[in-house]
Structures are given as structure tokens and as C-alpha cells.
Amino acid sequence: MSNSNRSKPANKRGSARLSAVQALYQMDISGTGLTEVIAEYENFRLGREIDGETYLEADAAWFRSIVSGVVKDQKIIDPIIHESLTDTWPLARIDSTLRATLRAGVYELTNRRDVDARVVVSEYVEIAKAFFDGDEPKMVNGVLDVIARTVRSGELKPKAEVGISEKVAAAVEGGDDPDNGEKG
């Protein structure tokens, strides 16, 4: 019985991803700072009961890594997402929950190469399904798939029509800010 109540490491990571998306959303909407939001989640949310709802036990280090990584690398992450969207739907026009989901997914694709790209895409599609009943999970799948095929080309076979600008792909590889004012 005790085995069934224990969270597997993968489940703890999944819970950490969901909590990271919620924290990033909170930061986006309310302007809450990084230190404050991480402390709030670690002290009062991860694995705790709030208003009758029990948050799943989460890998706190994984949660911190995603949230702080997205904040640190946002100037690199946002242009990568933007390049994968249509001109009529820029990142600023995307729902805040979707933005948080995409940012967290792109962070993992570009910085957590120890996790298979297919797992990252699948996990964030499932997170999108937790928030949306419409086409949004398909959009998350499409955007993250395009990005994964570009930044993880050794893992996934690239599609002929898929492509992020060379400038953004180079920024991911080199960690440079693709928006540094230089013209390529």
C-alpha cells in the first residue's frame, strides 16, 4: 500500500512542470517576483492542500530550475517561440497560460538535454490539456514540435517545412541574445 502512495520521480517532475507553469502565469499576471513566487510555491503549495485541493508532491529542484531558467533566459526563449508562431498571432497575443506553458517547454528543450525532447513536448501538451478543452493543446504540440526539431535536431528528424531562423537557432546553441541589436 505504501508503494502506491509514493510519487515516482517522473510524476514529481510532471507535478513540478505543472506548478512551474502556474507560477510563471502568476508572475506574468500579477508581477510577482521570482524569489517570492518560488518561496510561495515551495512553502505553501507543492504537496500541500489549499482550499480543499491537494497539490501533488513535486520535485522542488525541478520546479525551481524551470521557473528561474525561464526568467533568466526569457530574452532567448521568447524570440524562439515568436519564430514558430504565425505573423497574425505574436507571442504577446497568446493567452498568458499558453505563454507560460510554451516558455517552460522551450526552456526544457533548450536547457535540459538530459530529458528526451518527445517527453518534454508530451508533458507540456498534457499540461495544456489540464487548462484548455479546445485547440490550445494542439497548438502547444505544434509549436514545441517545431522548436524541438530545430534545437534538438540530433534527437528528432527535422521536417522539411520546419525552420526557425538561423539567428535564433544560433542563439540557442551559443546562449547569445538573438535580440542584441546586431543585424545579421
What mean pLDDT is reported for the chain? 82
Q: 66 pLDDT band (50/70/90 cuts)?
A: very high
Quote the pLDDT of residue 42: 86
First-to-last alpha carbon distance for the chain, in angstroms, is: 60
CB atoms within 10 A of CB 104: 27
In the chain, domain spans: 2-174
Do the Cβ atoms of 172 and 110 come closer than 8 Å? yes
Q: 10 pLDDT band (50/70/90 cuts)?
A: low
Q: 111 pLDDT band (50/70/90 cuts)?
A: very high
CATH assignment of 2-174, among 3.40.1350.10, 3.40.50.1000, 3.10.20.30, 1.10.940.10: 1.10.940.10
